[in-house]
Amino acid sequence: MNTLDGFTDHVAHLDAGDIAYSRAGSGPPVLLLHGFPQTRAMWHAVAPHLKPEFTVIAPDLRGYGQSHKPKGVEAMSFRSMAADQVALMASLGFDRFHVVGHDRGARTAHRLALDAPDAVLSLTLMDIVPTHLLLDALTQRVARDYYHWFFLAQPAPFPETLIGADPDLYFERCLLGWGKATLDDFDPRALDAYRHAWRDPVTVHTMCNDYRAAIEVDFHHDTADLERRVTCPALILYGSAGPMAATYDVAATWADRLTRYRAAAIPGGHFFPDHAPRETANALCDFLLGTDA
Q: Give me the mean pLDDT over the 93-101 stretch.
A: 98
Burial class (CB in 10 A: 0-12, 13-18, 19+), 292: exposed
Predicted structure pTM score: 0.97
pLDDT at 217 over 90: yes
- The yes-or-no verdict on residue 179 having pLDDT over 80 is no
- How far lies 103's CA from each of 125, 127, 290, 291, in Å? 8, 6, 24, 23
Band of pLDDT at residue 202, cut at 50, 70 and 90 = very high
Q: What confidence score (pLDDT) does residue 292 get?
A: 62
| Active site positions, annotated | 103, 270
pLDDT mean over 160-184: 91
Q: In the predicted model, is pLDDT for residue 181 greater than 90?
A: no
255 torsion bin: left (phi>0), alpha (psi -120 to 50), beta (else): alpha
User: d(Cα 191, Cα 279) in Å, to the nearest integer?
Assistant: 21
Neighbours of 111 (CB within 10 A): 24
**226-255: average pLDDT:** 96
- Helix (H) or strand (E) holding 1, with range, is none
- pLDDT, average across residues 207-222: 98
Mean pLDDT of the region 90-102: 98
Region 150-157: mean pLDDT is 98
CA angle, corner 171, sides to 166 and 177, nearest 5? 130
Identify which of 109, 112, 114, 144 has the alpha carbon closest to the alpha carbon of residue 126. 109
Position with higher pLDDT, 142 vs 57: 57
Instruction: Check pLDDT > 90 for residue 2.
Output: no
Please tell me the predicted confidence (pLDDT) of residue 3: 79
Domain extents for the chain? 8-290
- State mean pLDDT over 75-80: 98
State CA 287 to chain mean position distance. 18
Mean pLDDT of the region 218-223: 98
Instruction: Report residue 12: phi and psi, to 5°.
Output: -95, 125
pLDDT over 80 (residue 1): no
What 3-state class would DSSP assign to 83? helix
- Quick check: 19 pLDDT over 90? yes
pLDDT band for position 180 (cuts 50, 70, 90): low
Residue 293, pLDDT above cutoff 80? no
Q: What is the reported pLDDT for 16?
A: 97
pLDDT exceeds cutoff 70 at 105: yes
**Which ranges constitute the DSSP H helices of the chain?**
47-50, 78-91, 104-115, 131-136, 140-145, 148-152, 158-164, 167-177, 188-198, 201-213, 219-224, 243-247, 272-275, 277-290
In CATH, what number does 8-290 get?
Answer: 3.40.50.1820
**pLDDT(281) > 80:** yes
Q: What angle do CA 241, 181, 270 make, to 5 degrees?
A: 45
Provide the 8-state DSSP code for 3. -
Please determine, for residue 261, whether its predicted confidence score (pLDDT) is greater than 70: yes
Look at strands 120-126 and 258-266 and give their pairing: unpaired
pLDDT for res 182: 86
The fraction of the chain above a pLDDT of 70, given in percent, is 98
